[in-house]
């Protein structure tokens, strides 16, 4: 792992540790909620790159900071597909009549 990624994970681990402490959560409580060992939580707080991304995401959700992860994972809308979808909907609405 290159130095930039190691630094990022270390800072992320420190942030998660601070949020856990501010939330008055013990490492063992966090571990139980995530379904991992206390050693895994400790490793995350040190910024270990060996922890599965699913665990990092679960911890973000537990600590209430999942929004940035969600924003990263959003797929951008293709403007051409959006245009075609709207035109198809408009065409359907023009043809549709209410029958009694």
10-residue mean pLDDT series, the chain (100 residues): 82 94 95 96 94 92 84 76 89 78
pLDDT digits (tens, 9 = 90+) for 15-40: 999 999 999 999 999 999 999 999 99
Residue with tokens 């540790």: 17
Domains, the chain:
3-75 (1.10.260.40)
d(CA 55, CA 90): 44
Phi/psi at 60 (nearest 5 deg)? -60, -40
Longest distance between any two alpha carbons in the chain, whole Å: 70
With left for phi above 0 and alpha for psi between -120 and 50, is residue 62 left, alpha or beta? alpha
Decide if 13 contacts 45 (C-beta within 8 A): yes
């Amino acid at each position: 792992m290159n130095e930039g990624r190691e630094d990022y994970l270390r800072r992320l681990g420190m942030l998660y540790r601070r949020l856990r402490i501010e939330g008055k959560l013990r490492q063992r409580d966090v571990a139980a909620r995530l379904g991992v060992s206390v050693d895994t939580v400790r490793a995350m707080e040190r910024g270990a790159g060996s922890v599965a991304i699913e665990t990092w995401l679960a911890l973000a959700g537990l600590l209430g900071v999942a929004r940035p992860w969600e924003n990263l994972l959003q797929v951008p809308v293709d403007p051409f597909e959006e245009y075609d979808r709207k035109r198809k909907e408009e065409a359907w609405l023009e043809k549709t009549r209410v029958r009694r």
